[in-house]
Amino acid sequence: MDNQKFLKEMGQKIRTSRKAKKIPINQMAVLAKIDMSNLSFLERGEKNCHILSIKSIADVLEMDVKDFL
């Protein structure tokens, strides 16, 4: 799988999980301590990010990082 496809799939998993928990993107950004624009780019698969950002997102969603891979 190429990198761009991987990022898009991971971003979609994050977005789907966030929406399933009914957490607005702005609230998610605050809880995960991530800039909202960066979170938006991440969810759309348009930006690579630090693994600790993924961990913060997983923590807020009460999931494991591996759920996004």
How far from 67 is each of 11, 19, 37, 63, CA to CA, in Å? 12, 15, 23, 7
* Ramachandran angles phi, psi of 24, nearest 5°: -60, 150
* Residue keyed to tokens 């930006």: 47
User: pLDDT of the chain along its 69 residues, tens only?
Assistant: 899 999 999 999 999 999 999 999 999 999 999 999 999 999 999 999 899 999 999 999 999 999 998
pLDDT of residue 1: 82
Please give the Cα distance from 66 to 1 (Å, whole number).
Answer: 17
How much is the pLDDT for 37? 96
User: If you compute the radius of gyration of the chain from its CA atoms, what whole number of angstroms results?
Assistant: 11
For residue 66, the 8-state DSSP code is G
**pLDDT at 38 (0 to 100):** 95
Q: Which pLDDT belongs to residue 13? A: 97
So where are the chain's domains? Answer: 3-62
User: Structure pTM?
Assistant: 0.92
Could you report how far apart the first and last alpha carbons of the chain are, in Å?
Answer: 12
Fold assignment, 3-62: 434 Repressor (Amino-terminal Domain) (1.10.260)
